Structure 1
Amino acid sequence: MDQVTVGLTQAAVWTGSGIDLWDIEIPTLESGDLLVRIDLASVCGSDLHTVSGRRTGACPSVLGHEAVGHVVNVGDVTSPAEVGDRIVWSVTVPCGRCSRCDRGFTAKCSAVRKVGHESAEGAWVLSGSYAQHIVLPRGTAVARVPETMPDAVAAPAACATATVMAALEAAGALDSRRVLIVGAGMLGITAAAAATERGATVRVLDRDPERQDRAREFGACEDDGAPTDVAIDFSGSSPAVQAALARLDVGGRLVLAGSVAPGPPITVDPETVVRHWLTVTGVHNYEPRHLDQAVAFLHDTGAKYPWEALVEAPVPLTDLASVLRPTPSGILRSSVTP
């Protein structure tokens, strides 16, 4: 594959009021950087929240952080991949030096930069995946992807699937456990399959009957309302979190992964937590090991679950605005190809 070293690339830039197409000069790479040609980017719910105003972020910016692509240039031999490699990459770029990084919480680095969340007027202009090319700075975790894995399967690994891997790690051993998953979006559906593969009996709750039904294709059983050993919330709904907490049996664990925007508080009874030996924990973003686990999981289960069917056929970059809006209930992920 030919290296790309100079020239212009095109990016779809969120301006606060809409999407503009910018021609952006491809920068000279620094040591450890990668230049990646985007093959396909899927549309994460957080980008929809940004466009709708539910979530604040840099503006103008190149959004998009779930994508797969091929490396077309490297900064030098210290780069984590080679020209021609097909990769997915982490949402977060840590400094690797602060106390949080030292403690293993690189996703919460005190100086973290995030793919698809940086200003297009700053030093890292090509930071998002809604573009023909993206620059991955030194420190960005990457994972190689088999050429046989469809783009629509690989792209969500970079956010949805890797986040699920982190949430399941927080949930602990799942073999022979009862697991309740709240929210049957991309993350909830993925978690249903992943928990089933780990030996759990999985039930999924969603206010959308179509999504709840779809979860059964990915290992979920009909919910019987019984107590559960583990509850994992991807909905971010305070009433749903409250209800999930009430479902925990003795020794139960509640993992919160969907509450990424302000919402009403829930009530926690300390006596119940003590007497029932309950645990409540949160997960935000993920670590590099979870990205590797995500690619391996999708590869291992590719023939068992219809992953590709969860992502809509891509629209061209020029039509990005058409998929940055609430989607019909049956669509879990829209996608874009430059």
Structure 2
Amino acid sequence: MDSLAGGVTRAAVWTGAGTAVREVPLPAPGPGATLVRVALATVCGSDLHTVSGRRPGPCPSVLGHEAVGRVVAGGPFPAGTRVVWSVTASCGDCARCRVGFTAKCERVRKVGHEPFAGEWPLSGAYAEHILLPAGVAVVAVPEQLPDAVAAPAGCATATVMAALEAAGELAGRRVLVTGAGMLGLTAAAACVARGAEVVVADPDPERLAVAAAFGGLPDDGGPVDVALEFSGAPSAVAAAPGRLAFGGTLVLVGSVTPGPAVPVDPEAVVRGWLTITGVHNYEPRHLHEAVAFLDATRDRYPWASVVAPPVALAAVETVLVPPPPGLLRASIAP
């Protein structure tokens, strides 16, 4: 990749033993690519999994995939446009892409999950700049949407939009959300906005208190029409089908690391006309929906209150740990 006027940028490189801020040539974007100056990046749970060893990934690499920034060069928008972007870079022509599963592209590359020593060193958002190759969806962000609200759109919020699409009609239905992290509270707010009654289950009382501010009522153990499982806890996954009323739907989202198999009663599924499905990542339409939803609810819910004040790029390592109570996302301002 050619350098952009011989310039350099800085990136926090995860080495497996810690992070090191390194200078990197500032690349000139090729056809279909976009170079973005990162304004704010939030720390997703999957990055914490990488750092803790629960999730395998290339090393060294530049982590970070939830972020907001401004276009420097290339892409579909003029320079200076404020944007968020998708987690995945898809090829657009494999069998999966052709049927609409671009997030599971057979040749998928992922923002914040590529080797630093490879052809895409600036793949992560824990850097002053990020290069978004062709195949990454880029969506403009309204100027009135604060950085701390916009940044999670590219992972947590868009994933929730995909989960809600899989759940089907929500108006007038009773929804159980298990796991009151960023995805869970986002799901609670989005379901309430679509006319559902939402109950939330989580073993952490402080997280339940946060979820209440986003419309989630305490779980009473009763039957539900829809269950959205974000925790990935085997006990929660195993219990969820038993909570479904006749014709109910369970959407599994949080089970993204290896774990024990859980029992499912096939007779209960058959006789109850139950649906059990899974969602991993999302399509570009879900990212557009995420930005629109956050903008529509920016004054209704305290989105920024669950994001910690940002640290500088050199302090990235200090926030690659679970955030303090009451907060769901750390943040970095490169």
Q: TM-score with structure 2 length normalisation?
A: 0.98
Matched residue count: 331
Does 1:262 find its partner at 2:223?
no
Secondary structure of the residue aligned to 2:217 is coil
Aligned residue for 1:317? Answer: 313
Aligned residue number for residue 6 of structure 2: 6
Pairing of 1:175-190 with structure 2 (within 5 A): 175-190=171-186
Query: Residues 235-259 of structure 1: CA distance to partner in whole angstroms, max 9, x if unpaired?
Result: 0001011111111111111000000
For the pair 1:125 / 2:121, whether they are aligned, the reply is: yes
In the alignment, what sits opposite 2:282? 286
Given the superposition, is the C-alpha separation of residues 5 and 83 from structure 1 closer, same or farther in structure 2, using an over 3 Å criterion? farther
Measure how far apart 1:5 and its partner are.
4.2
Partner of 1:315: helix, strand, or coil? coil
Deviation per CA, 1:16-63: give whole Å up to 9, x if none: 111011100012321111110000000000000000000000110000
Q: CA deviation at 1:328?
A: 2.5
* 1:6–1:28 contact (8 Å) kept in structure 2: no
Q: Does 1:15 align with 2:11?
A: no
Secondary structure at the counterpart of residue 7 of structure 1 = strand
Deviation of 1:190 (Å): 0.4
Identity %: 63
Contact 2:208 2:218 in 1 (8 A): no
Gaps of 5+ in 2: none
User: C-alpha offsets along residues 277-304 of structure 1, whole Å, 9 cap, x if unaligned?
Assistant: 1110000000000000000000000111
For residue 242 of structure 1, the aligned residue among 238, 242, 255 is: 238
2:163 matched residue in structure 1: 167
* Between 220-229 and 109-118, the greater mean CA deviation after superposition: 220-229
CA offset at residue 137 of structure 1? 0.5
Q: Is the 8 A contact 2:200 2:219 kept in 1?
A: yes
- RMSD over equivalenced CA pairs, Å: 0.9
Aligned pairs for 1:16-55 within 5 A: 16-55=16-55
Output the amino acid matched with 2:41.
A
Task: State how far apart, in whole Å, the 2-side matches of 1:62 and 1:82 are.
Answer: 26
- The answer as to whether partners of 1:5 and 1:73 remain within 8 angstroms in 2 is no
- Give structure 1 regions of 4+ aligned residues with deviation exceeding 4 angstroms: none
The CA deviation at 1:327 is 2.5
Give the partner amino acid of 1:58. Answer: P
- In 2, the alpha carbon distance for the partners of 1:69 and 1:237 equals 34
Within a 5 Å distance, the mapping from 1:70-109 to structure 2 comes to 70-74=70-74, 79-109=75-105
Q: Counterpart of 1:197?
A: 193
Indicate if the aligned counterparts of 1:96 and 1:139 stay in contact, CA closer than 8 A. yes
Q: How far apart are residue 216 of structure 1 and its match?
A: 1.1
2:305–2:327 CA contact under 8 A, matched in 1: no
In the aligned structure 1, how far is the partner of 2:209 from the partner of 2:23? 43
The one-letter amino acid of 1:19's match is T
Paired residue type of 2:326: G
Question: 2:213 matched to which residue of 1?
Answer: 217
2: CA distance, partners of 1:10 / 1:112? 26
In structure 2, distance between residues paired with 1:176 and 1:157: 26
Give the partner amino acid of 1:104: G
Judge conservation of contact 1:34–1:73 (CA < 8 Å) in 2.
Answer: yes
Paired AA for residue 246 in structure 1: G
Contact kept in structure 1, 2:201 and 2:218, CA below 8 Å: no
Kindly indicate whether the alpha-carbon contact (under 8 Å) linking 1:69 and 1:86 is maintained by their aligned counterparts in 2. Answer: yes
User: Would the aligned equivalents of 1:208 and 1:329 in 2 still touch at CA under 8 Å?
Assistant: no
